[in-house]
Structure 1
Amino acid sequence: MPKPSPPTEDASWTSAGLGRREALKEWREWAASTIAPIEVTVFDADSFAARWVSHGVGQLRMLQLHAPAQRVVHTGREGSSGRAAPSIQLVYARRGAIKTLMGGKRFVVEPGQFVLLDNTRFYQMEMDTEHEALDLMMPQGWLERYLPDPEALLARAISASEGWGAPLGALLEAMIAGLDDAPLPRPLIAEQIGNLLGLATGFPDTGENTRHRGQLARQILRRIESDYAEPDLSPERVAEDCGISKRYLQTLLAGSGTSFVQELNATRLDRASDMLSDRRAAGLSVAEIAFRNGFLDAGYFARLFRKRFGITPREWRAGHAPQS
C-alpha cells in the first residue's frame, strides 16, 4: 500500500489484480490518510473496482477518483480529519450523480457541479452508479486568501458549467486532461483555482467585498451594543443571525483589532459601572447589577470589573471610581 505522498509528488493506485477484501482495505487506508477516515459500502457485494490518481498542485492535492456504486461515510470524530490534513474539499462530479448529506442538508451534486465539504465534519456521499469525480484538497488557511468565509459556502451544489463557474470547470477539466503539459508552474495554477473559485462562489476579493466585511463588523458591534444584557448572547448566535460562520465573525473582528468576548465584556462592564454610580439603582445588589448586565456569575463579574477598573464594584459604588 503506497504511503501518502507529499503535495509535490504524483501517485496512482488501482484495484486491478487485487481481491475485493484487499482492494477495499487499501482504498480505505489511502482515504483515511489523504482525504478523511471513511466507511465504504459497495452496492455490488461481489466486486470492487476502483482507481485513483493524485497530483500535487502547489499547496493543493488533486485527486481523480473512479469508483463503483457505493456509499461513503466520513466516520471520523467531529472536528477531526483523522490522519489526513484538515482541509476544505472541492468535490467535482464528472460522471454519475452524488447524493450528499452534510450539516443536516440533503442534496445532489449532478455531473458538472461541485460542492465544498469540510473533511473535519461528518458527511455521507452515495453514488447509485459507477462514477468519476475530482476531489481537490485545499488547506483552509490557503483557501481563505480567496474566500473570506469558506464555511458559509459548504454543503451546496454549485454549477461548474454556467456563469462564473464555467471558467473554473474548464480549468479543472484541463488539469485532468494534461496537468503535466500545463504552461504555468503548478503553484501558479493553484492561484488560478483560488481566483476562479472566488468568482464561481460570488466571493471575489475586491474593494466591494472589503466594504462588505466592514459593514458586517459594524453590524456585529452594534448587536453587542444593543443586546449586551442578554446572558446567552454568544458569537455562535450572532454569527448565525448574520448568516456567517463563527470563524468568519472572529476574523472580521480581529481585522478591527478586537474580539467578540472583548467587546461584549467591555460593554457589559461599562454599563454596570454606570448603574453602580446611578442613585436610582442604589437599592440593587452588586449581584443584581451584574445579572442585569448579562453576567450570570457575580464572582466572575467582580474579577473582570477589578481587572478593567482597578477597584471592586463595591469600591466603585462607594465613590472611589478613578476620576478622569
Structure 2
Amino acid sequence: MSVVLTTDSVPEQQKVTYWNEVMSRTLVPMTVSPRGTGPFDGWIATHHIGYLQVSTVEADAKFVSRTPALITPSSEALVAVGVQISGTATFAQGGRTTEVGEGDLVVYETGRPYSFDYPRRFTTHVFQLPRRTLTVPDSDIRRIAGNAIHTSGGAGAMPFLFLSALASLAGALPPVIAHRLADDFVDLLSTLITEWTHPSGAQPDSAASALLLRVREHIDRNLGDPDLSPESIARAHGMSVRYLHKLFEGEETTVCRLVQRRRLEECSRELARRGRATPSVSAVAHRWGFSSPAHFSRVFRAAYGVSPREWRALHTARNQPLPVPAGLSTIPSLTTADGRRHPGRSRLESA
C-alpha cells in the first residue's frame, strides 16, 4: 500500500511547516528551507518493498539539511540511495560536495550529517534500507558518500534502470516477490559500492573473511536446529541468500554441504564415544539436526561407507581405534568383526 502526502490542500502560510513534518516523518528528521519567496508545493509517495522503503519526491526548490542535532543515538542506522529523475542537486556529506545531475545516483548514510540543495523544482527517488543488510565495510560506504555516480555507463547504468523500474512497481508487488526484489537491491547496491570503491578489482578480503568466520561459527552453534538453512543463516546475518552463497564461492563447498558435513562429524564423534550410557542412533541424529532417521542413515553411509550402527560397533569394540578427528577428508581403513578390512573412505563433499 502506498501513502501519498501533498501540500495541495494546505494553506499557503502553513505549507513549509507541513512539508518539514512530512519529510521528517516519512524519511528521517531534517530541516527543509524553500528557495525564494514565492509559493511552495510538493508531494511525496512512499511504498515498502520488503524491508526496503521507496519514496518518490517532487517539490519546488529547497535546501534540505540533516544536522547533528537531528541524529539521535537511538536512530536506526540506514543507508539511502537517491536517484535524480529531474532537476539537479548539490549534495554534501563527510566533507565532500558533489553536483548531482539527471540520472545520477548518490549513496549516503542517514547516521551522519548531510545536505541537499535543489536550485529548482525537481523529482527524485529515495531508497532507504537498514545498514545491517549491507555486508560491505563502513569504510567503503564512507568513501562513496559525497560522490555522484553517473549512469552513462559502467557500474551506474544497470542500477539506474533497475531502481527506476523498482520505484514504478512499488506498492503493487506480492510480499514474496517484494522480499526477493529487496534482496536483489541489496546485492546490486553492494556490487555498485564495491566496484566504485575498488575499481582495480581488489576486494575487501578482511571484511569478507570476518563475515565468513561469523557464518561458520553460527552454523556450529546451531547444528542441532533442524531448521538451519541458507535462508535462516542469511536472515540471522542481515544478508541475502545470494550473497551468502557468494561468500562460499572460494571455499570449495556449499552452505548446505557444510551444514551436513558438520552434523555428520558430530554424530560420528558421539556414536564412537565409549561409555555405559549409549544413546540410540535416532537420538543422536535428532540431537544434531537430522529430523529423519532414514535420511540420516542414508547420508551417513554415503559419507563414511558404513551404517551408523556399524560405525558404533566398529569404534566401541575393544582394541578398535578411536574415532577420526572431525574435519579429516578420509577415514583410515577399519577392521570388521571377522577380520576383514573396510575401506571407510569419506565422501562428505559428494553427499
Check conservation: 1:69, 1:131, Cα contact below 8 A. Answer: yes
| 1:195 partner SS | helix
**Please, which of 3, 10, 25 is the counterpart of residue 2 of structure 2?**
10
Quickly say closer, same or farther: Cα 1:121–1:89, change in 2 above 3 A. same
What's the CA shift string for 1:173-212, capped at 9, x where partnerless? 11233334558711111111111112222359xx973646
Could you tell me which residue of structure 2 aligns to residue 77 of structure 1? 69
Structure 1 residue 35 and structure 2 residue 24: aligned? no
SS at 2:137 equivalent: coil
CA distance in 2, matches of 1:138, 1:81: 18
> What TM-score does the superposition give when structure 2 sets the normalisation length?
0.52
What is the aligned counterpart of 1:45 among 13, 23, 37?
A: 37
DSSP 3-state at the match of 2:186: helix
Question: 1:86-113: CA deviations, max 9, x gaps?
Answer: 3111111111111112222121111111
One-letter code aligned to 1:105: R
2:169 matched to which residue of 1?
178
**Residues 2-31 of structure 1, C-alpha deviations (whole Å, 9 max, x = no match):** xxxxxxx52111111212332222221122
Q: Which moved more, 1:178-187 or 1:93-102?
A: 178-187
1:202 aligns with one of 172, 194, 197: 194
Query: Identity of aligned pairs, percent?
Result: 19
**Which letter maps to 1:104?**
G
Q: What's the C-alpha RMSD, in Å, of the aligned pairs?
A: 2.9
Is 1:112 the counterpart of 2:115? The answer is no
Paired residue for 1:98, among 85, 89, 92?
A: 89
* Alpha-carbon distance in structure 2 between the residues aligned to 1:176 and 1:115: 16
2:137 corresponds in structure 1 to 148
**Runs of 5+ in structure 2 lacking a partner?**
211-351
Q: How many residues align?
A: 204
Q: Which residue of 2 aligns with 1:89?
A: 80
| Residues 1:65 and 2:57 are matched in the alignment | yes
The 1:182–1:75 alpha-carbon spacing in structure 2 relative to 1, beyond 3 Å, is same
Contact 2:82 2:125 in 1 (8 A): yes
Is the Cα–Cα contact under 8 Å of residues 155 and 195 in structure 2 kept in the other structure?
no
Shift of 1:48: 0.9
Answer whether contact 1:63 1:134 (CA < 8 A) is retained.
yes
Q: How many angstroms apart in 1 are the aligned matches of 2:3 and 2:209? A: 46
Distance of 2:41 and 2:179 partners within structure 1: 32
Q: Distance in 2 between matches of 1:210 and 1:37?
A: 33
TM-score, length of structure 1 as denominator length: 0.56
**2:112 matched residue in structure 1:** 121
Which region of structure 1 is more displaced relative to structure 2, 150-159 or 185-194?
A: 150-159
SS at match of 2:133: helix
Whether the 8 Å contact between 2:48 and 2:171 is mirrored in structure 1 is no
Secondary structure (helix, strand or coil) at the match of 2:170 reads helix
The separation in 2 between residues aligned to 1:143 and 1:55, in whole angstroms, is 20
Residues 80 and 121 of structure 1 are in contact (CA less than 8 Å); yes or no, is this contact kept in structure 2? no
| Secondary structure at the counterpart of residue 166 of structure 1 | helix
CA contact (8 A) 2:49 2:171 kept: no
Q: How does 1:195-274 map to 2 (within 5 A)?
A: 195-203=187-195, 209=203, 211=205, 213=207
1:138 to 124, 129, 144: 129
Partner of 1:22: 14
Distance in 2 (CA, whole Å) between partners of 1:175 and 1:215 is 32
The structure with the largest alpha-carbon Rg is 2
Match of residue 278 from structure 1:
none
The secondary structure found in structure 2 opposite 1:164 is helix
Q: The residue matched to 1:36 in structure 2 has which SS?
A: coil
CA distance, structure 2, for counterparts of residue 81 and residue 108 of structure 1: 30
